Amino acid sequence: MGKTYRLLIIDDNEELLVALATFFRLKEYRVTTAQNGLDGLKVFENEAEKFDLLITDLVMPHVSGVGLISIIKGRYPDFPVIAITGFGKVPEDLAAEAKADRIIRKPFDLVEIERIVKDLLDPDVRETAE
């Protein structure tokens, strides 16, 4: 993975946020985190050009992940977004409608989410590996 990719990870569950950030930092990603949708949106708006991918929870206070995805995809349609949720079909459907690239249910496997991140960031790697 020659380039160092920058991820923005947003989740109101601090334990999960720390776990994801730690995992991706160990994998040599540059990670910025936020604990709610409003803070995450502020970070993204101030530094959008610095990020390569967003991982966001769907159900959060202030600004939901669905709202966040809608705003970001409205401005940057090709920006890769992974939505994570523990709340089932309704948030998943809303995330799909907001155009999240992938939707992952909690609990998830960190190795699996990393594979999805790699697929979204560098689809050519996946194609040559198969």
Which residue range is the domain that position 62 belongs to?
6-121
Contacts of 62 (CB under 8 A, 6+ apart): 36, 37, 38, 39
Q: In this structure, is residue 68 part of a structural domain?
A: yes
**Residue range 88-101: mean pLDDT, rounded:** 80
Question: Rounded to two decimals, what is the model's pTM?
Answer: 0.89
Token digits of residue 82: 């992974």
pLDDT tier at 128, thresholds 50, 70, 90: very low
**How many domains are contained in the chain?**
1
> Can you tell me the distance from the alpha carbon of 22 to that of 5, in angstroms, rounded to the nearest whole number?
15
**Residue range 117-128: mean pLDDT, rounded:** 74
Contacts of 76 (CB under 8 A, 6+ apart): 48
Let me know how long the chain is. 130
Q: In this structure, is residue 97 part of a structural domain?
A: yes
Q: In this structure, is residue 129 part of a structural domain?
A: no
Token digits of residue 35: 């604990």
pLDDT tier at 129, thresholds 50, 70, 90: very low
Q: In this structure, is residue 126 part of a structural domain?
A: no
The string of pLDDT tens digits covering residues 59-86 is 888 888 899 999 999 999 999 999 998 8
pLDDT tier at 92, thresholds 50, 70, 90: confident
The string of pLDDT tens digits covering residues 14-31 is 999 999 999 999 999 999
